[in-house]
Amino acid sequence: MQIDFHHAVTYVVARMAGFTHANANIVAYSAQYVDDSITDGFIEFGNGMRYRRFATAHPTKDIQNVTNNNENAQSWQPFHFLPGNAGQAADADTTGISYEDRLICLPDSPVAKAMMASVIATRNAPWGLHRLGLASHVFADTFAHQEFVGLNHSLNDVNDDIQTFSGEPLKRLPLPPVGHAKVDTYPDRPYLAWTYTKGNGKSVKRDNTEIFTTAATRMFEEFKRFQAGEATAVVPQIPEPDQKALAEMFSSLVTDKEKDRHDKWLEAIEAGHFSFGKAPLKYDGSGTDSWKSCALGQSYIEGLANRIKEATHDEVGISVNIKADNAGVFLESDYKRFHDAVRMHRHQMLTEVFPSFGLHIG
């Protein structure tokens, strides 16, 4: 999914679930920032303190996307293409299923539910809302990225028979089989109804509006469980008028430009289109109002060396260390709390959740 869902829809669903504007904003920003947090390396402060960031996505031109499945397993699988374990529970006998097939992303899988239970268990941490946001990104992507694997792998091969339900041909991209690269952003476009055939001959039919609406309704339930503090709590479903409003937005914004769709969502939120009323919402992932700039301060914003280093990294994926001087502001910032959540999430997924399903990613 793209910024229209990860930021705007996440905010809308959080408000529908009863979160305040301030808390929903943290959840939504964190959800989108999973795609935008592509810089890793140390932040070095003037007082000698250091803080290490871990990226949650690779830059598009990062050669490691193609050449290094070890790195892909650390980023794409815990944060974008959650392995579905072939839909099997943690205690199920999977001896008749190949390990590679168990890595295929599936919507709302037992692994996804276990991930959300892990998130709910840490809800009272200072970064609890930030982790909920980043996990909601992963959870939503299990719907959009179903049938693909977060690796450079033949399981991601597709034939050239991609088309809409009405028969309009869609182009298969001449890219390596990394995630859903060969089918462009078709899985991420909420209005698209399309079909394709996987390289192994399996035919896939997808109504993205239906898929996205289901993702939003399930996310609503997980948000309610987070509020209740119980992963198995019985919670209400999203009200039908709210579900209808979401589906109408998904189907009506017919453009492949994610920014245009995002802008329309922000306009609808500000105009009071949804049940929670009017609300101002914006997203700055890298500018002067971004979490990063607010956390690192003017010396970071004006530091030419920092900007050149990060621009280089964000283009090709070279790890960089940057300098900053206001450690006090940083320690209480949303930026640090997001990265604290990333560290905890990745650790728990790689060492607890995945292994409980017999999945050993790294």
Residue 224 phi, psi dihedral angles, 5° rounding:
-65, -35
Single pTM value for the model: 0.94
Pairing assessment for the beta strands 41-45 and 322-324 based on DSSP bridges: parallel
pLDDT of residue 68: 72
pLDDT of residue 324: 80
Give the Å distances, CA to CA, from 268 to 163, 170, 192: 31, 30, 21
pLDDT of residue 130: 98
Contact 128, 134 (CB under 8 A): no
The CB density around residue 174, as the number of other CB atoms within 10 Å, is 7
pLDDT of residue 302: 66
Pick out the chain residues at pLDDT < 50: 316-317
Contact 154, 177 (CB under 8 A): yes
Q: What angle do CA 286, 292, 293 make, to 5 degrees?
A: 80
Separation of alpha carbons 19 and 283, rounded Å = 18
pLDDT of residue 104: 97
pLDDT of residue 136: 98
pLDDT of residue 362: 76
3-state secondary structure 247-296: HHHHHHCCCCCHHHHHHHHHHHHHCCCCCCCCCCCCCCCCCCCCHHHHHH
pLDDT of residue 321: 76
